[in-house]
Structures are given as C-alpha cells and as structure tokens.
Structure 1
Amino acid sequence: MIRPLLEPLLHPRSVAVIGASEAPDRIGGRSIHSMLNGGFGGAIYPVNPKRDTVQGLRAYPSINEVPEPVDCALIAVPATAAVDVIQDCADRGVRSAVMFTSGFAESDAAGAAAQERIREIGKSSGMRIAGPNCLGVFTLDKGWYGTFVHALANQRVPPGPIGIVSQSGSYGSHLFNVSQRRGVGTNHWVTTGNEVDVDVAEVIEYYAGVPDLRVIMAYAEGISDAGRLCRALAAAREAEKPVIFMKVGTTDVGARAAASHTAALAGADAIYDGVFEQYGVYRAETTEEMVDVAYACQFGRYPKGRRLSVQTISGGVGVQMADAATRRGLDVAPMPAPTAARMKELIPFAAVDNPVDFTAQALNNPELMQANIALTIEEGGYDAHVVYLSGVPDYDFSRQACLQIFSAMRERHPDVPVLVIMVVSDELRARYEELGLPCFEDPSLAVRAAAALSHFAEVFVRGAPEAPPAPLADAMEVPSDQVAEHAAKQIIASAGLAVSHERLVNSAEAAVAAWREIDGPVALKIVSPDIQHKTEIGGVLLNLDDEATVYASYATLIERAAAARPGARIDGVLVAEMVSGGVEMVVGVVHDPVFGPTVMCGLGGVLVEVLHDVQFRMAPFGTDVARAMVEGLAGRAILDGVRGAPPVDVEALAEALARLSVFAHANAARLESLDLNPFIVLPDGAVAVDALIVPREDCAI
C-alpha cells in the first residue's frame, strides 16, 4: 500500500479534538485555545460526550457525530480508550491523527501490544498517525496548532523557512523555544514520539518537498528504517536544503566485537557519523550549535569556497577567529598584495594581511571602514567574510554610520555571505538581519557558522554521488560457515581486490618449495577456520628467508596450534610473500542492525588501536565516496609520504573500498563482518595481506 502524504497532518482543513477540554491549560484544551487565537482558518470540532460546547464551539459526543469529513484528529484520551478511539477515527474516514496519549510501548508489554494494534489500524485504513506519546505538530503561518505545547505564546519571530522534527516531544519544544530566542524563523514543527507510523525520516522527506521551507532541523534517539532515512536525506540534498541533525544514543555492537576488529571500532556513533557524511548532513553536538547553524542557513547565502576573510577592530580577536577558522578547515589566505597596498594607503595604521585589523580608530572616519570592507569583498577573492565590531554598532556616535556602511555593502553585494559579530540590542540586531547579515556575539561561533555554510555549499555543488562499480560476474558469495584465511582471500579476490601472493601447504617440504617460488622473505601462518586470531596463539611467523628456518617454522606452527587449540581443524600452513613498503591500513565491513553492511577504513597501527581514526560509509558506494572516507582520516597526510617515504596509491585504495562495498551489499544477508588487516597501500596498487570473514549466524545455507 502506498503511504499517503503528510498533507492532512501538516495542513488540515478540518480538525476534531477528541478529549476536548473547556480549560485552555489542559492537554485537551490547549490546542483549541491556540487555534482560536492563532487564526486557524479551518473547522474545529471538539469531541466530549459530557459537554454541549467547548470554548464557545459546539461539542460532539463522538467522532461519529461530527457532521463533516475530518482531516486530522487530536487524541487526548487515556491509553485505555485510545485504541478504540483510533478505530472509530479509521471507521469514520479521518485522514490523520495526532496521539498525545502516552502509556504504550514506552511503558510495558501491554502498552506495546496496544501500540501494535494502533499500527495495524493505521496501516489498514491509510490514516496517518503521529505518536503515540508525542507533543503534536504545528504550522504557524496557517494557525494550525495540533499540539498542547503553548507555541502561540512562545512565538517571538515571524514564521520563517525552518522546519523542525523531533522524536522527543520535550526536546522538540525546547528546540523551538531556543530557536525563537535566537531569531530562527520556524514554521513547521513535528514531534513523532513512539513512531507507530510517521517517523523522523518521512518528515525530513516531506520537508524536502515543501517549497517555502529551506532548512531542516532534526533530532532522533534511534532510526528504525535506514532506507527511508537515506531517501529522505538524499531528497533534501537534491533540493539543496541543509539538514542539521542531532543524533543521540549508541549502537550496541558488543556481541560482534569479539569476532571482528572492524565491529569493535563501529561502536557508539561512528556509523551514524559516516552515513551523515555520506549524505551531507551537518551533525550538531549541542542545542546551541544546532540553532546557530540553522540561524545562519536561514539567510540562504552560501560561500562558493572555503576562503574566509576576517575583519576586525581588535587584533587579538582577529587572531582568535583565524585560529578557529583554521581548525575548522577554512582557508584564511593572505590578502592579495595589490589590495593590501591600497588598504594601507587608505588606513596607514591598519594591519592588512588576513585578519585585517582596521582598529577602532577607523570609526573616526567611517568612510575608511566602508572602503576597507568594499576592497576586501571586491578584490580579496574571498568566499565569505566575518566582521568583528563588538559593541561599536550600538554606540550613539557610530550607530547610524555602521548601519549605512552595511546597508551600502549589502546593496552593492546582495549575495555575498557576511557574518557580523556585535553586541547590540535585539531591535538593532533585527535591522542587520533584515540586511541578510547573521549576527553573533561570540566570534568563534560565527566562524563555526561560516564553516557550516561552506560545508553545505560543497554538498550542494557535489550533488548526488557516483554510481558504485558494477558487481563482478565471478564474485563468490560469503559461505554459511567460517572459512580460514586463504579461503577468505580467494573470496575477496573474486570481488576485485588484490591479495598477497601465497600458497597453502601441508608439509615442511612444501613450505620450502613455496618459499623458493616466492623468491623472497615470507610469512608463515597457521590456517584453521577455528582460529580467527592467529597472533594470539603465536600462529604467525614473519620475515623468514632461509630454507632451514622455513622448514622448522612449519613444525613450530603445527605444534603451537595443537597446544593452544586442541581439536581445532587445521587446513595447513599459509606461505605468503612479505609485502614491503607502503602504508598499513585496516579495511573492513560490519553489518549494522540499522544500516546493514557498512564499510570501514582506517590507518593501521596506533591510529586505529588508540585513536580510533576510522571512517565508515554505508554500502554500496562509488570511488568518490571512498575518496571522501580517506580524506576524512585524521592521519590522511601519512598517505602522501613522510620522512622520505614515497606517496602511496590513494586511488587504488578508493577503488578497493568501492569494490568491497559492492561485495558487502551483494552479501548483506550473509555477511556479519569482514576484516582486511593489514591492507597495505603501495606506491602502485593496494593489497590485502590478511582476511577474516565472519558469516551471519542466520545465514541461509
């Protein structure tokens, strides 16, 4: 069944309030009060069998007595009656419902069963349901207050281009109130609660298609439908609408960590980080960050690159902003020499590099500051500008001059992103905001917002990612049983990844013959499907390069395996070339319970073990996403060569990651985890030296 759109929920023409109250301060009365006073243009039908009227409106004993079709029903009845009420609404043909009622899956098993019944009613009838256990929805410019939050009283700024969606009703209310105080123009607001039907992802997708909505703020504690979330984020990216997301909570991967190094690194929010990076989402860590970034985005001016000019009346603050910009990946490039020279002629006492410190003395002659700003914008070649003025714009002697300077600048350069740091009254700040100038009191927060604007600009320019490589016709499937290293490498090789030269042998004489064939130092490894971590039992011997040592080492490994794992199946000993040079990486796959197969890439050694310097992306993906994974590593510079080492083949690494993602996606139902550790990236090519494949326990045979 095709899911009906959310229009009846966000733009209803008629509303029934079931459990309606005469008292505006009660849950069943607040929404009626808000709609009556907020200009709702549709019909309102209170439902209360004990009253003839509610807040001056005729009341009805049940939804069945309401004389007209109903787009949305607000349900404010006890949990014991809620299922019957939902069934009555479905029978009556109500198109959507908002369930304030709590006491369902968040409470106990009986509540969970009742919630499942509500889900079935909604699915079979096509009625869209928000909640249960939610605070509701609203659309401010329509006077639609399907909530018991007193949004009407808390509204401080006119409706604007921001849409909020939150699983948590309380946090959603808090976010709206903080946004109002920050000057963020919210219009659409949805809380999803227990998500029996409508979830955060679907609301994001709906927002992506609303013409007058330009920025999306989202909060979630968990995601149940990864496919829907990815479609929603892709739709927002295609519509060039920033998504600012706060995701809290962790993913439990402890059960898989014992078998897979990759799984151990996938804990907490690493995979969500990767998915958000993949779709261009800005992940906020605090409410302040979320609101500040949305505030900057609502002005709709995005820089074309990362070159940032810093202009200031304080040299010290300029240095602070330059440091903050560098930490956030912005380019605080020096002012072009000819422009700097002209500035110096205009303001001899100014520092004219970048930051440009025109000092407070420039205010003695405002035309000089205006010329300075104009030169920076017109000749500096910068993509965005931050200007620190402290309290100067609100001083009696400079208030009008500053307004004239920025009014002239905006008239001449209507589309240039300029962020202003000033401490002024709310009324004066509103004047600057009318000029399209985001205003901040903290210089570092202004720089953070500028970096966020640059992030979204890059996302929109980049657009949809490349298609993944085509699967190889001869690629093998993940087997249903555990396999040893040599078999795992054969599977990986069939998927298009290079593996080290090696031979499986069953005697010391064959080990020596394999060493001669390889013609160089070798590693000997015990091969057993029952011994996943060979180094833990001394099952790996390295840099063997003479006949006697190779011969003796074979017996040593067999003896160690028998002593450490009596009864383990021993397939033999692997004689493998020692791959020298290059950079050791860790590459792998883990099956996430929400996002399915996700690919991991990290630099080997201490950077993985201690710093967890890794990147995750959801499979499948193309080489452009793979390159972004590599670029996201904190130790990325190692790949360019350090201390005389040559640079390595990053393109070969990206190709391998993309091919591995295709293999992982094709085996999503069969693969629990996969480790290629080490995966060595060479000056020319990249090769897997070790491989571990862990099938899913429920993998079909």
Structure 2
Amino acid sequence: MTTSRRTEGSALARALSNPSSIALVGISDDPSKTAGRPLKFLRAAGFEGTLYPINPNRATVQGEKAYASLDALPEVPEHVFTLAPTNTVLDTARACARLGVKVLTVLASGFSESGEEGARREAELREIGRTTGLRVLGPSSLGVINPSARLVLTANAAFAEPDIPRGRVFVASHSGSMIGALVSRGKARGIGFAGLVSVGSESDLSIGEICSATLDDPAIEGYLLFLESLRHGSALRAFARDAARRGKPVIVYKLGRSASAAEMAATHTGALAGEDDVADAMFRDLGMARVGVLDSLLESFPLARRLPLDRTPSRPQRVGVVTTTGGGAAMAVDQLGIRDVIVEPASPQTLARLHAAGIAVSAGRVLDLTLAGTKYEVMKATLDIMIDAPEFDLVLAVVGSSARFQPQLAVRPIIDCQGSAKPVAAMLVPDAPQALAQLTQAGIPCFRSPEACADSIAAVFARRQPAVVPAPTGQPATPRHGSARALSESQAYGVLERLGVPHAPAVTMPLSGPAPALPFGFPVVAKVCSAQIPHKTEVGGVVLGIRSPAELDAALATLRANLAARAPSARCDDALVQPMRKGLAEVLIGYRDDPEAGPLVMLAAGGIWAEIARDRSIRLAPVSLDTAREMISEVKALQAVSGLRGKEKGDLDALARALAALSQLACRPELGIREAEVNPMMVMPEGEGVLAVDALVMAS
C-alpha cells in the first residue's frame, strides 16, 4: 500500500469510527424510537466528542440543544448520521458536500433495492460523493461502533445493552441487525470486538475499502465479514491480499450457498461457476476462511491465528483427536469427515510413547482416554505427546461432562498447552460456559458444537496463500462496456494459438461447397463457423464421422439445410473441418473475467458431463503449473486416467500446461477476452498431449 493510500485510509478510519464531532440529522426526542436511539446510545457509552442534534422542529432533543440545520452548527462535523426520511437524504448529502463533511452515514432505505426510482436516487447520491469527496456509508446502514472510542453511533436496538465487550476483531456486515446479533452472542462467550460497521448497500464505501482503512490499526488483529453477496470485488480482493500479507485472518460468512448456479454468460464456464462457487474460490485463493455455521464466524478467529497462512503444506492437513467421551468425539469426527478433513489415527510410534508414559489407549481414529482423561496429568501428558507427533497438524481435545462440573481438571491441561508449537483446540460436549470463558480468555480455539468445530477447522485448512499477481503484459484493447461478442471457432483457435493452448488441426472452407482437398485424412467432422452461432449443436451445425470427399460435400449440404431451417437470420459463410480424434478423457477448461471476483479459471469433466456432473475445480487466474496440477487432482473424472490400478494414464502434465496457459488471459488485457472455453479438450495417452476440439471465446 502506498503512503498516500495509507494516509487516505487513516483519515477515513478516523472520520468513520473515531470522529471528534458528530451531527445527528433528524434525531428524535423519543429515545425509544429508531431515530432517537443514537443520541441515547452515544451518551450512555460516554462518547467524548462533540454531538450536534439536528431537528428543525424542536429547540431541544432529549434534553439537549437542537439545531435547525447543518448550516446552523458552530463547526463542520466530521461525521453526519442522517436518520431522516429517504426524500431528505439527497439534500442532506448536498449540504454535507458543500460544508466539507468527511463521512455521511445514511440510515434510510428506498434506494437501489426499491426499484427504478430508488436506483436513480442512489446514483445521484453516489455522484455527489464522486464529485465532491464526501464519503457515504449506506444507504440502509445501521451505523458504526468503536468500543475503544466509546462510539456507539447506531440505531440498532441491540446496543441498548451496556458494556460492549472489547476485543481484537473488526466486524463488517451487509446486514445491520447482524452486528447486534454478533455482539450479544460474543458477550455471552466472552468474545469482544475492536469495531463493527453496518455497510448497508455499499453505494460508496464498501466492506473492502473500510476494512483496508483499518489495517494499520494495531488494535485490530483480524476481521469477521457477513456478506449477502459479492459487491465491489476489486476493493474486497485488495483488502484480502493486504490482510494476508500482514497476517491478519479474515473469516467470512456469506449467504447464497443454496442458490442454484445461474447462467452468467454464454459459456458453460459461466453456467457452472455460479456466484456462490465463484465466491468460494475467491475466498480460498485470497486466504479468507469461509464458514457456513454462524457460531463459526465467532469461533474461528483464534484457530486462524494459530494456523497462519505462511504455511506451505506439502500434503493435506490432518487432525488428531483425543477425548474423554467417545460419543462426543464421534460427532466431531463425523462432521470433520463430511467436510473432507482428515482425522488421522495415532501412529505406532505415538502409541508406543503413550504406553511408555502409562497411558492406556487403543489404536483407532480417536484416542479415547475415558474417565482417566479427566485427570490433569493424563490429559496433559497425552496432549504433549500428540503435539510432538509428526502425523498431526492440529490436536483437537473433545471434553465431556467434566468440562461443566470440573473445569479446573478438564480444561486446565488444554490451557497449559497455549503457545505450543502445534495448535490445540477444544470442543466441549456439555453446555459449559465457565470452561468456554477460560479457554477463550487463554486464546485457545474452542467450540460449543461439533458442527461449528468441524466447519471452522475445514474453513481454516482450506485457505490458500494469495498468489502474486503478475503485471499485465499490455493495455486493454478496448474499454469494457456493453455485452461481449462471440468469436467464430476459427478466430477462437487463433486466440488459443497466441496463448500456447494446443488444438486439433482445422481448415475453413466455403459452406457453399464443393469441399477442397484436406491436409489431413478422414474421418473428419464438419461444423458451421460463424460468430453469430456460438452453440452449433442447437442449430444442427455439426456433422460427425465423415469418411470421404463425397460425404464431406453431402455434410456441407446438410449444414446449409439445417441453417436455413433453424437459423435463417444468422450469417454463416464458412464451415470448419477437423480430423476426428478420440482421447482417453474429455475435459472442459474455461476462463472468465468475473465482474466481482476478477479473472477465474475452471477445469471440469467435459463433453455432456460438464453440466450434469458439475465435477469441477475453480481458481483465481492466472494459475501456476503446480496449482493447475492441484486442480486436476480435484476433478474426480480424471482419476480414471491417472494411472490408477494399472489403467492407461492420460497426459495430465500436458493438461496442466494447457490450463495454466489459458489462465494467462488474466495477464493479457490487450486481447480483450472476457470468456474463453475449450469443451471438449481431449486428454490423449501420456506423452501425446492434449487437443482442443471445440472452442468458444467471448471478447469485449
């Protein structure tokens, strides 16, 4: 981050969450009303800055002097929170801009979410900020909380509760009600916060920009994000990369897992990579831990701190489980298994060490100490041996009823492992608030349920160190405006050649015939070749198995007839002819420049299975050869050509090279490619490479 960006970020953070003066526009005299709460909360919290209640209809508000307007104030406030109706917001924004206010928070709704008129209103609000420098939080923002500055600038009723717990994590949420929910849940767990912000609809200030502005704050050690969708993706990506570089974990809960993949583009890549799949790939590749259980959003941070991103594991991460309750451990193991987390049995060497220490355990997936584990010396000795064992990357202690009734015995040995070379986490089977509080205070990752425990571990393990983004090799060919246009298949092969992605030999010829002599032998396939017909099979634009010149002439006639019947308005003068090839497997490789997540690359089972099986791997582009190989290992269909059980092996190294080469479109903006897809790509026997036999490219 440059010095100027740091300065701008620090100034924004101060005005947003530590302002010296605040004006409350439209504040109500009734502190029980939504529009009356912020003044009451700020006074109750002991905010030490200057407050200016603004209500043109009253001389006093809640016993304090009220002002008629922003212009009537004795100074320009740093931060204005407007609680007034929607139809007053633009006038307030203009006044703020004219006076030089730094931040305006807008509570009102009725903007882009409410239809065409609201969208116009939001666009005007955004334009006021763009042309004047006023920064806008919202609309639909419930405000900002900074416990260390005694700032409770919110209309959220949950903050009527006093004594907001202070901690080291910063919360940013699309949902205003969620910040109150997290505070109440955190308070019950002894978990505190460095700050919370409700961003609303992000008309201007986004979650990414706000969090970036706080990265230099030493009081903030990590971030919890509650997202309803992906917005302002470039700012979120920049923040995530910066947070990873600084070792500040980011935990994300995003809605939308259950939504079916929507058709986002003309290619299968767009259809298969729905918004949630794109978000998942983006989060992992940027080092963010995405959780799916709400409790995990609060409980994952200590674990993420103990498992930093600078790890470069050469194998999947493994968990060792020790327990005093077999049933409780079985639940944890089951939930970990559902999420493909490896629960590793103790090795013979580790079992031998345990037996030598007088600890009676049996070989198995879990080390069950039974009631003996409630003794401090037994549990502590077991944990020490497991921490030292090379087969475990994380040790999970599952504690039964003793956690509630004898926390000094059950929890103390776990706490005394704090600072060990290997992270130790705890899951408590009973409701044991005292034990949870002790573990939380000690900084030990601890969980109240097997679902949240497994969810957190899986999410933290799944993070990847963000790759270094290569500099583009050229300037964009044209500005990205409007819809993309398809290239003909012949033109698409030209793009693949520039990238070094191999394709089957191909010649174009007049669709009107007769067919010229071919530079390769029969059998061949003939296809219509037109930028106006990206999906050829839908119009009968493909003829397979052509075995002679006469059959080729007949195929051209068939293509002409099919076009006349099914796509009479499409312009198509050419046919493309290729030799028929058969590989050991068919795959799809695709590239997409997603408007929020950025460039993506995908590998999937190809041919007809692309959309049926949804067997695929997605990464942010570009990818290295090593990452391309990881993607290949994640596609189940390719296991059949991996040499398993003596079966013939496909040229998976060539596939990795082709995938990495296609992903380089992320560094080639001069080509103006928004989407590119090969489906199918034939995987030939080992040493014979791969061949693209159909390609669809969408350009700006």
8 Å contact from structure 2 (residues 541, 563) kept in 1:
no
CA distance in 2, matches of 1:211, 1:464: 25
1:592-603 equivalent positions in 2, closer than 5 A: 592-595=594-597, 598-603=600-605
Amino acid corresponding to residue 10 of structure 1 in structure 2: S
Residue 343 of structure 2 corresponds to residue 335 of structure 1: no
Per the alignment, residue 393 of structure 1 pairs with 403
Shift of 1:147: 0.7
SS at match of 2:202: coil
Per the alignment, residue 662 of structure 1 pairs with 664
Per the alignment, residue 351 of structure 1 pairs with 362
Shift of 1:387: 0.9
Q: TM-score, normalised by structure 2?
A: 0.85
SS at match of 1:273: helix
Runs of 5+ consecutive residues of structure 2 not aligned to the other structure: 478-482
Shift of 1:302: 8.1
Residue 417 of structure 2 corresponds to residue 409 of structure 1: yes
1:305-316 equivalent positions in 2, closer than 5 A: 306-316=317-327
1:178-577 equivalent positions in 2, closer than 5 A: 178-248=185-255, 254=263, 256-257=265-266, 260-294=267-301, 296-297=303-304, 306-347=317-358, 349-363=360-374, 365-379=375-389, 381-395=391-405, 398-410=406-418, 413=420, 416-456=423-463, 459=464, 462-465=465-468, 467=470, 483-504=487-508, 514=518, 518=520, 522-529=523-530, 531-536=533-538, 539-542=541-544, 549-566=547-564, 571=573, 574-577=576-579
Amino acid corresponding to residue 612 of structure 2 in structure 1: V
SS at match of 1:429: helix
Range that drifts further, 208-217 or 504-513: 504-513
Per the alignment, residue 33 of structure 2 pairs with 26
Shift of 1:585: 0.8
Q: Taking structure 1 as reference, are residues 650 and 164 closer, same or farther at Cα in structure 2, changes over 3 Å only?
A: farther
Shift of 1:144: 0.4
Amino acid corresponding to residue 526 of structure 1 in structure 2: K
Per the alignment, residue 57 of structure 1 pairs with 64
SS at match of 1:141: helix
CA distance in 2, matches of 1:110, 1:504: 51
8 Å contact from structure 1 (residues 301, 415) kept in 2:
no
Shift of 1:148: 0.9
8 Å contact from structure 1 (residues 335, 380) kept in 2:
no
Q: Taking structure 1 as reference, are residues 119 and 485 closer, same or farther at Cα in structure 2, changes over 3 Å only?
A: closer
Q: Taking structure 1 as reference, are residues 98 and 380 closer, same or farther at Cα in structure 2, changes over 3 Å only?
A: same
Amino acid corresponding to residue 581 of structure 2 in structure 1: V
Residue 187 of structure 2 corresponds to residue 142 of structure 1: no
8 Å contact from structure 1 (residues 155, 180) kept in 2:
no
Per the alignment, residue 99 of structure 1 pairs with 106
8 Å contact from structure 1 (residues 469, 662) kept in 2:
no
The superposition leaves residues 53-74 of structure 1 with CA deviations (integer Å, 9 ceiling, x where unpaired) of 4344333232223223421111
- Aligned-residue sequence identity (percent) comes to 28
Shift of 1:433: 2.0
Shift of 1:679: 1.1
SS at match of 1:334: coil
Per the alignment, residue 68 of structure 1 pairs with 75
CA distance in 2, matches of 1:129, 1:593: 22
CA distance in 1, matches of 2:233, 2:260: 14
CA distance in 2, matches of 1:144, 1:487: 59
In structure 2, which of residues 606, 609, 612 is the aligned counterpart of residue 610 of structure 1? 612
Amino acid corresponding to residue 498 of structure 2 in structure 1: S
1:575-594 equivalent positions in 2, closer than 5 A: 575-590=577-592, 592-594=594-596
Shift of 1:351: 1.7
CA distance in 2, matches of 1:263, 1:455: 23
8 Å contact from structure 1 (residues 509, 551) kept in 2:
no
Q: Taking structure 1 as reference, are residues 375 and 99 closer, same or farther at Cα in structure 2, changes over 3 Å only?
A: same
The superposition leaves residues 84-123 of structure 1 with CA deviations (integer Å, 9 ceiling, x where unpaired) of 2222222332221211123333335444443333323323
Shift of 1:615: 3.3
Range that drifts further, 108-117 or 665-674: 665-674
Amino acid corresponding to residue 454 of structure 1 in structure 2: F
Amino acid corresponding to residue 135 of structure 1 in structure 2: L
Q: TM-score, normalised by structure 1?
A: 0.85
The superposition leaves residues 434-479 of structure 1 with CA deviations (integer Å, 9 ceiling, x where unpaired) of 22223323234323322333334xx3xx3433637968999xxxx9
Per the alignment, residue 654 of structure 2 pairs with 652
8 Å contact from structure 1 (residues 526, 557) kept in 2:
no
Amino acid corresponding to residue 378 of structure 1 in structure 2: D
Amino acid corresponding to residue 692 of structure 1 in structure 2: L
CA distance in 1, matches of 2:27, 2:38: 9
- Give the root-mean-square deviation of aligned CA atoms: 3.7
CA distance in 2, matches of 1:407, 1:21: 49
CA distance in 2, matches of 1:491, 1:323: 48
Q: Taking structure 1 as reference, are residues 416 and 485 closer, same or farther at Cα in structure 2, changes over 3 Å only?
A: closer
Shift of 1:602: 0.8
Range that drifts further, 563-572 or 14-23: 563-572
8 Å contact from structure 1 (residues 98, 131) kept in 2:
yes
CA distance in 1, matches of 2:221, 2:331: 31
SS at match of 1:269: helix
The superposition leaves residues 559-588 of structure 1 with CA deviations (integer Å, 9 ceiling, x where unpaired) of 221221126666555443343434311122
